Chain A
Amino acid sequence: MSHKSFVWICLLPLAAVTAAFFVLPMARLLVTGAEGPRGLAEYLAILAEPRYRATLLNTVLLAAANTIATLIVATIAGLFLQRHRFPGRAVLVAILTFPLAFPGVVIGFMIILLAGRQGLIGDVSSRLVGDKIVFAYSIYGLFLGYLYFSIPRVILTIMAAAQKLDPSLEEAARSLGAGSWAVLRDVVLPALAPALVASGAIAFATAMGAFGTAFTLATNIDVLPMLIYTEFTLAGNLATSAALSVGLGVMTWLILALARSFTGNSVAAAG
Chain B
Amino acid sequence: MNMMTRHGAALKVENCGKTFADGTCALARATLDIAQSETLVLLGPSGCGKTTLLRIVAGLETPDSGGRVLFDGKDLTRQPIEKRNVGMVFQSYALFPNMSVADNIGYGLKLRGLPKTERAARVAELVALTNLGGLEDRRIDQLSGGQRQRVALARAVAIRPSVLLLDEPLTALDAALRERLRGELNDLLRKLGITAIYVTHDQAEAMELGDRIVVMRKGAIAQVGTPREIYFTPANRFVAEFVGAANIIEAPIESGELVLPGGRVPVSGRDAMSRAVAMVRPETIMLADAATAGLAGTVDSVRFAGDRQRIIVRDAASVPLAVDAPNTVNVSAGERVGLSIPPAAIRLLPEED
Chain A: residues with CB nearer than 8 A to chain B? 166, 168-169, 171-179, 182, 186-187, 190-191, 193, 266, 269-271
Contacts and interface: CB of A to CB of B under 8 A. Distances in A.
Contacts of A168: 90, 92, 94
Contacts of A179: 82
Interface stretch (B33-41, B107-115, B198-206, B296-304): B107-115
- Closest A-B pairs by Cβ, 3 of them: A176-B108, A190-B98, A172-B94
A77 to B, nearest CB: 24
A266 B103 CA distance: 14
Contacts, number: 68
- Give the interface SS of chain A, mostly helix, strand, loop or mixed: helix
Interface size class of B (residues with CB under 8 A): 20 to 34
B78 to A, nearest CB: 15
B107 A175 contact: no
A64 B287 CA distance: 84
Given A174-B82, A187-B96, 8 more contacts: A171-B90, A172-B95, A174-B81, A177-B111, A178-B107, A182-B111, A186-B99, A270-B98
B349 to A, nearest CB: 39
Contacts of A191: 97-98
A197 B111 CA distance: 27
Nearest to A169: B94
Interface of B: 58, 60, 80-82, 85-88, 90, 92, 94-99, 107-108, 111-112, 139, 141, 155-156, 159, 165
A21 B112 CA distance: 58
A270 B97 contact: yes
Contacts of A182: 111
Given A182-B111, A186-B107, A269-B139, A175 B87 contact: yes
A218 B127 CA distance: 64
Contacts of A174: 60, 80-82
B92 A175 contact: no
Contacts of A266: 98
A172 B58 CA distance: 11
Contacts of A173: 96, 107
A174 to B, nearest CB: 5
B82 A178 contact: yes
B96 A175 contact: no
20 contacts: A168-B90, A168-B92, A168-B94, A169-B94, A171-B81, A172-B88, A172-B94, A173-B96, A174-B80, A175-B58, A175-B81, A175-B165, A176-B155, A186-B96, A186-B107, A187-B96, A191-B98, A269-B97, A269-B98, A271-B141
A191 B140 CA distance: 14
A172 B108 CA distance: 10
Contacts of B94: 166, 168-169, 171-172
A171 B108 contact: no
Contacts of A186: 96, 98-99, 107
Contact of B111 (A178, A193, A271): A178
